[in-house]
Structure 1
Amino acid sequence: MLLTLLFYLRVKESIYRRGARRWRKLYRVNGHLFQAKRFNRKAYCGHCAERIWGLGRQGYKCINCKLLVHKRCHRLIPQTCQRLMVSIHHVPSS
């Protein structure tokens, strides 16, 4: 009985841990890699400068340059990712 209970708890724990690690979808726009985020503090869109608010994952954050945008604005970003620009300028010439 005790052995069965320990086995059950280990299986339950492994399922919980496996479920906790999720792959999040990335959206690529002009070199930015946007990931859906939930903002706990005041955040403002880098495109329209309006406050990002709502329930759940309200906006996107570039994982490279940390740019925050509304979900509706992420495809409208005209500038390329600043991290991408830095890596282009530092390419050694041969």
Structure 2
Amino acid sequence: MFEDLQVDQKTVKRWLTILENLYLVFSVAPYAKNIPRGLVKMRKYYFFDCGQVEGDEGSKLENLVALSILREIDFLRDTQGRKLSLHYVRDKEGATLYR
């Protein structure tokens, strides 16, 4: 993202932290157990408001699915005290999978 914006990486990270603190976006961390490091480096960011997503239908659907899973995880944490978290994995071809 910082390369596309031609801005320092630290600046973009600071912007994303601000957006997370304002509850405009949420991040999904990579799942790292037994996965080569090169496939799991970066967090993925999604909007809480799916109407803010621009791009193809696949991007919109991915945001909607991630948000739905996050809401279910939050519900189970709040109502049942379960210790759950949302992560993603990229396979060798670069496709994103969620755990």
Rg larger for: 1
Larger strand fraction of residues: 1
Same fold (TM over 0.5): no
Q: Which has the higher helix share?
A: 2
